[in-house]
Structure formats: C-alpha cells, structure tokens
Structure 1
C-alpha cells in the first residue's frame, strides 16, 4: 500500500504544469511576436530657437528607422503631434526601444555639439504588454494651432485626472485612425484639427504637465538611470552587529 502511495506521488510530481510565462510565450508565437509590446507616452517642449518644426519629426523618423535596423525587433508604431511649442508622442514598441528613446531624448536635451531641438521632455506613462496596437504605423504631423495663454493656465483638476484624460484622447485618436481606409489616411492625418478636434490634447494641459513637479511623472534621465545605475540598497539587517545567524534559509 505504501508503495502505491509513493508511485502516485511520483506521478503527480512528473505532471507538467503550464506556467503563466509559457502561456504568454505561446500567445506571442501565435501572434508572430518576438517581444512583448509596450506603449509609451512622451511630452516634450520644443527649443525656442527651432524655426522649422518638421526637423524634429524628421530627426525622430531617422532615429526610429536606425533603431529598427540595428535591433531587428518588433515594428514601431505610433504618432507624434508637433504643436507650435510642444510635442505629444505615443509609441508602441519593445522595451529595448523605450530605453533607446529615453536615451535619444536625453541626448537631444544635453548634446551641445549639435543644434538642440528639445528643451525638456517627460515620460507620462508606460503601458506594459498591451493586448493590441492602436496605430498601424509611425508618423508625425505638425499642427498649426495657436492657443494663447499657455503659461497662465491654472489646472482645475488633479494631475492624475488630466493625465487620464490626455491618454484617453490619444487612444481614441488611434482607434479613429485605425478605422480609416488606407487611401484616405493621409488626407485624414492632414486635417485632424478639422475632423476630430476633440481628440487632440490641449496645448495648455501639455504645458502644465511638463512644468508640473509631480514625482509620478518621470524624466527621460531618470528612466535611463534606472537601467544604467546599479541597484544597491542597504538592509536594516546589514547595520546590525554582530551579524544575525541564519540557521535556515527562511529565517
């Protein structure tokens, strides 16, 4: 009888239990995905000396093409809206591309050997492992919308609610563009302000979020530091002398 119990226990131990990681990997293979896809939202302020705003879009377009060729990773999709003084950028890509984007934003702010294009940037939100893309490709558009009184804007809502509203606008904008026929997509992109003005983030709110010192909104430099600097902390037990004796692993 004891032998039968031992055999049953061995059989139960031999049974393979599917882990969550295996489920995710199987799903990615089914969708022909090499990596998990994440969505990042970035706000930037254009340097005052930049006269041609198209240069900013062309710079990012060249950067993303170079990264795609170097890393041979997932396609990069998203949209960059270039206002008169600010930029709203949403990008869907792998985690490596988000890190490289943060490095590029830092270099655009700090590299004095080339013409500076951006004065400051902030990473608003990163949505990890998104179920599906909202944008079919990456592109940028310049918007000649003049909105006076940006500096005088006083928020009547919390930073969290303003952020949620802005993200909702961009996601609904991506859903709207995904439904457009490919033949009409270019004309639709060129007339966003006329067709869907309610889906375009307000410049005053973008300016407020960039200037606000909310600790929940990360700068590109802070994001790069997380990946570059070693993670080293001192535990309370490390400050005790004599050192505690660990007789068992779970102590």
Structure 2
C-alpha cells in the first residue's frame, strides 16, 4: 500500500517536468502573415485604394487645386508615418475623379482635411465629395506616382447613359474604365515624369469616363460623404447582448 501511494506521488511530480520536454509548435495568425508579406514587399503599412468624385467650386483655378493636394500630401507625410500617395486626379470642366493609393492613416487625414474645410464653411476647391469605392489591403499599386490631368475639351456623347442604365451598370462601367485607364498609365507613364499632362483626352479619349457619369455618382445618395465615412470609422465596435440589458439574466432549465 505504501509503495502504491509513493508511486502515485512520484508520477504526479514527474508530470510537470515531462510537459517541458514536449516540443513547442510556433503558432502564427493572419495579421502576422500580412505583416511579413508587407515586409518582404518593402512596405511598412498595408495599402488601400480610394475612389473619390466631387464637384469643382466655381471660379477655381484647376492648377491651384492640384498644387493644394501636393501640399496636403507633403504635410501629412511630414507629420505622420505612412506610405507615399500615388494615384491620379482627373479634372473635368466641373467635376473631378480622384483615385488615391496609400496607407489607411494617410487616406484618413486626406478625408479629414476635406471635412475640416466643409464644416468650417470656408471657400474650398471642391464640394459634394462622395466615396465610391474603398479597396482594402491591395496587393500592389497600379499607379507608380501621383499625377494630374486636366480634361480641357469635353468629350461629346450622343445620349446620357445614366438615364437608361441602373446604378449597378453605371458602377460596373466606372470600375471597368478606371481600371483600363490605370493600366494604360502604368504602361506609358515613366516614373518621375509629369504624366500625361493635359493631353489625355487626345491620346486616349476612349479610356476616359464621361463627365455625366461622375456627375451622376456625385449626386447619388447611395454613396457616403467623407464625414459619414469618418464617423463610422471612428465609431467604437461594441455589441450589446440581450443578457446585458435584461435583469435578472435569463436562466435555462
């Protein structure tokens, strides 16, 4: 009996030492996988792509709008860590199409800059901005730099396609055309050059969206303005369970 009890005590004491001999399997998660992927691609932050449309304020010089955005990008990168901004700004006679690629913090501050001007009721370059698409964690950039093009000559169309197409069809055309335009700029525009400049409507008119589509999307209520988007972005995620609002807590039989 004594031998049996002693054996049990010894076996219990030996369990902790045996557990240390078990091989420790390293465990990762999806976040660490994405961090390692970004490190191998020489990127410090995850990249995102933002599609914006807005109306140009009357009597505003388009060159001043382009210069202002350049200053905003430089100021953000100077005071906050983040990825450089790439993309394209297409300035039509009365509307703009703006595609931006950068880290989430940089894009957040670009939108915040617009909201600050809108809430303070100052005369700003653009108004009525809408966010059409946000692409999160894009694998790579499709724009090698940020470039500007002024569409001086409006392209003439026989009919207004927005009158005969649904919103889904208009969005499909919007994304298709912008993707084709991005591939064209990727293949033709050299890094550190000024881009296509103001001749884009001459060299590739078939790749440009009609201004009427941008106007249609800008006035559509289905898309968020930057203030609504940022309010949702800053809203803490908290799910209230039924058991938290009912007292006493329900018990199961």
Structure 1 length-normalised TM: 0.82
- 1:15 equivalent to 2:21? Answer no
Using the TM superposition, give the Cα deviation of residue 187 of structure 1 relative to its aligned residue in structure 2, in angstroms. Answer: 6.6
Change in 2 beyond 3 A, CA 1:109/1:198: farther
- 1:213 equivalent to 2:241? Answer no
- Name the structure 1 match of 2:202: 194
- Name the structure 1 match of 2:247: 241
- 1:65 equivalent to 2:74? Answer yes
Q: The residue matched to 1:201 in structure 2 has which SS?
A: coil
Choose from 58, 75, 85 the match for 2:84. Answer: 75
Distance in structure 2 (CA, Å) of the matches to 1:31 and 1:74: 13
Q: Contact between 2:145 and 2:191, CA under 8 Å: does it hold in 1?
A: no
Change in 2 beyond 3 A, CA 1:177/1:82: same
Comparing 139-148 and 114-123, the one that deviates more: 139-148
- Name the structure 2 match of 1:172: 180
Length, aligned pairs only: 238
Comparing 237-246 and 27-36, the one that deviates more: 237-246
Q: Whose radius of gyration is greater, 1 or 2?
A: 2
- 1:42 equivalent to 2:52? Answer yes
Q: Which runs of 5+ in 2 are unaligned?
A: 1-13
Using the TM superposition, give the Cα deviation of residue 84 of structure 1 relative to its aligned residue in structure 2, in angstroms. Answer: 0.8
Using the TM superposition, give the Cα deviation of residue 100 of structure 1 relative to its aligned residue in structure 2, in angstroms. Answer: 0.8
- Name the structure 2 match of 1:88: 97
- Name the structure 1 match of 2:231: 225
Change in 2 beyond 3 A, CA 1:10/1:196: farther
Distance in structure 1 (CA, Å) of the matches to 2:74 and 2:249: 54
| Correspondences of 1:36-185 after superposition (within 5 Å) | 36-48=46-58, 50-112=59-121, 114-146=122-154, 154-180=162-188, 182=190
Q: Contact between 1:102 and 1:223, CA under 8 Å: does it hold in 2?
A: no
Comparing 167-176 and 227-236, the one that deviates more: 227-236
Q: Contact between 2:147 and 2:194, CA under 8 Å: does it hold in 1?
A: no
Q: Contact between 1:109 and 1:117, CA under 8 Å: does it hold in 2?
A: no
Q: Contact between 1:153 and 1:208, CA under 8 Å: does it hold in 2?
A: no
Q: Contact between 1:78 and 1:135, CA under 8 Å: does it hold in 2?
A: yes
Distance in structure 2 (CA, Å) of the matches to 1:72 and 1:229: 23
Please give the root-mean-square deviation of Cα atoms over the aligned residues, in Å: 3.0
